[in-house]
Amino acid sequence: MTAQIIDGKQVAADMRAELKAEVAELKKKEIVPGLAVVLVGEDPASKSYVTAKERACEELGIYSDDNRLAADTSQKDLMALIKKLNKDPKINGILVQLPLPDGLNEAEVLLAIDPAKDVDGFHPVNVGKMVVGEKAFLPCTPHGVIQLLIRNGVKLEGAEVVIVGRSNIVGKPLANMLIQKNATGNATVTVCHTRTRNLAGHTRRADIVIAAAGRPDTVTADMVKDGVVVIDVGVNRVGEKPSKKDPNRMVAILKGDVDFEAVKEKASLITPVPGGVGPMTITMLLYNTVESAKRAAGIDEN
Ligand code: NAP
């Protein structure tokens, strides 16, 4: 069996088209969703993520408030900015790009964000609501994984799902979402990590394997059964190559956590890296921003 490739770019484009139409409808009611992005310092990867987020907002008609601060910004000034954004009625979502430079207290900053504007879904209030199955902002990458699955017709109810990785931003929230008693849950979930004995013993019985370990070739062909669905969250920089657009510029060679070439011969569906989970993360951030604007305006259909 050769797998059908899950096209994350296409699913993200479909969702962005839906969101763009929704934003246009909201604008007729004089509601303009607004996202504030806070970037401290000059980290090149963070700068390019933030630029991508700002461009995506523009494409959808979401108001984007760009806050780029010097690396030596004090904790006090950063906290004052968060407080200002919490009160700003034009802002429905606040995103603080992580990691923050050394010397800044990340936990204190994230805790200061109004949970009603926490579109990253990292605030303990949103994490708690997610766990007990109340309406919450769902963290973007795991929510993007679930959208990829359901929009490709994968049945989650009763499925045996094995997640490799237990981080707070991917593995743990994903496991929580997948066991919820709702239409995007009802799966049976096993979460594996570096202390798991016999990882392959778990992955081999899975209907769906989700790899979020941050290590190339964590999942190989001998570790999965025929017909498995594989979602590869991993992004590993394994080298550099000249850019297609500008051969004088070097770009990273990216690889996931799954041995894609071999596993695709056994899987029924598989995500590539890049072009799988990656495009979904920003899309789900935009989704949460639009949700937040609707809640602030008292429009709550879900
Ligand atoms: P993380 O915080 O480093 O967590 C990695 C998890 O994988 C840990 O729980 C670790 O176990 C487990 N693990 C590592 N090697 C393992 C192995 N050989 N066998 C079993 N478990 C293993 O990473 P993260 O932030 O969750 O990110 C995971 C990957 O996803 C990274 O490559 C990251 O770049 C990527 N990512 C992509 C997106 C996207 O938008 N596409 C978003 C977020 C993350 P222990 O807990 O025991 O250490």
Whether residue 139 is predicted with pLDDT greater than 80 in this model: the reply is yes
Whether residue 302 is predicted with pLDDT greater than 70 in this model: the reply is no
Phi then psi dihedrals of residue 236, to 5 deg: -120, 130
Question: Model pTM?
Answer: 0.96
Domains of the chain, start order: 30-116 (3.40.50.10860), 140-278 (3.40.50.720)
DSSP 258: B
Cβ neighbourhood burial of 226 (10 Å; 0-12, 13-18, 19+) = exposed
> Considering only CA atoms, which of 49, 87, 231 is closest in space to residue 150?
231
User: Could you tell me the distance, in angstroms and rounded to a whole number, from the CA of residue 188 to the centre of ligand 1?
Assistant: 21
Of 49 and 259, the one with more pLDDT = 259
pLDDT at position 301 is 66
Residue 199 CB–ligand 1 contact under 6 Å? yes
Residue 21 in tokens = 């139409």
- Residue numbers annotated as active site: 53, 97, 120
pLDDT at position 276 is 97
> Considering only CA atoms, which of 25, 119, 31, 20 is closest in space to residue 61?
20
Among protein residues, the one whose CA lies closest to atom 42 of ligand 1: 141
pLDDT at position 287 is 98
Of 1 and 135, the one with more pLDDT = 135
User: Could you tell me the distance, in angstroms and rounded to a whole number, from the CA of residue 214 to the centre of ligand 1?
Assistant: 4
User: Could you tell me the distance, in angstroms and rounded to a whole number, from the CA of residue 100 to the centre of ligand 1?
Assistant: 19
Q: Which residue intervals of the chain are DSSP H helices?
A: 8-28, 44-60, 75-87, 106-112, 124-132, 140-150, 171-179, 199-203, 260-263, 278-296
Cβ neighbourhood burial of 40 (10 Å; 0-12, 13-18, 19+) = buried
Whether residue 300 is predicted with pLDDT greater than 80 in this model: the reply is no
Residue 212 CB–ligand 1 contact under 6 Å? yes
What is the percentage of the chain residues whose pLDDT exceeds 90?
93
Looking up tokens 């019985």, which residue turns up? Answer: 205
For all residues of the chain together, what is the average pLDDT? 96
